[in-house]
Amino acid sequence: MDGGASPQETDRHFWLTRSVARVAGVNLMQALSHGDLTQADYAGMIESCRQGGCDGACAEWLGQQAAWPAEPPRFCAHIEILARLRQLQIPN
């Protein structure tokens, strides 16, 4: 075994990353299509999520969000990139 993530583990962090972005008011597909986020950056976000070790706390945080957009939790590895993308996606 190469020590990499299983497909199920990668899927979990893919969906956690997308969900936190959505709750934060960021459309990752729009960011990709507009060139504000590269495929490599997106893959890096998923890997950072996987390595963060906070997936249980993240899932709990997601389940508690009733009002959107919401600031990501402090422990989220994506706070800075989500803030940048959100600013780019706010209508002028």
Quick one: 17 exposed, middle or buried, by C-beta within 10 A (0-12, 13-18, 19+)? buried
Q: List, in order, residues 6 or more apart from 25 with CB less than 8 Å away.
A: 68, 69, 86, 89
How wide is the angle at C-alpha 71 spanned by C-alphas 66 and 73, nearest 5°? 95
Q: How far is Cα 53 from Cα 15, in angstroms, rounded to an integer?
A: 15
* pLDDT for 87 beyond 70: yes
Position with higher pLDDT, 68 vs 35: 35
Total Cβ atoms within 10 A of residue 85? 23
Note the pLDDT of residue 3. 52
Note the pLDDT of residue 2. 43
Query: pLDDT band for position 1 (50/70/90)?
Result: very low
Q: For the chain, what are the domain ranges?
A: 7-89
* 11-63 tens-digit pLDDT: 999 999 999 999 999 999 999 999 999 999 999 999 999 999 999 999 999 99
